[in-house]
Amino acid sequence: MKQRRRTLKNRGYAASCRIKRIEQKDELESEKTQEYRDMEAMQEDNNRMREEIESWHSKYQALKKFAQDKKIIIPPDLETM
């Protein structure tokens, strides 16, 4: 009788451990998925910023060329850019 009770208790403990492990696994997988989404969003944001920087750089180069063509004096600190 005592052994039977102990066996049933152990089954209960094992079942609760299994459930807890599965819940932890699901939680970690959802966190992993969220991290991937965040990483993709950061990459997209980074790419957008790169494109914006390139756009500003090309506009600067065009203005610089215009100034040189029109013989407009450019300050030395802007010349090195």
Q: Where are the alpha helices (DSSP H) in 1-81?
A: 2-69, 76-79
Q: Strand, helix or coil at 70?
A: coil
Domain assignments of the chain as residue spans, ordered by start:
2-72
CB 77 within 8 A of CB 56: no
pLDDT for 14-64, tens place per residue? Answer: 999 999 999 999 999 999 999 999 999 999 999 999 999 999 999 999 999
Judge if pTM exceeds 0.75.
Answer: no
State the Cα–Cα distance between residues 35 and 29, nearest whole angstrom: 10
| Res. 76: pLDDT tops 90 | no
State the Cα–Cα distance between residues 47 and 55, nearest whole angstrom: 12
Beta-carbon contacts of residue 80 (< 8 Å; ≥ 6 apart): none
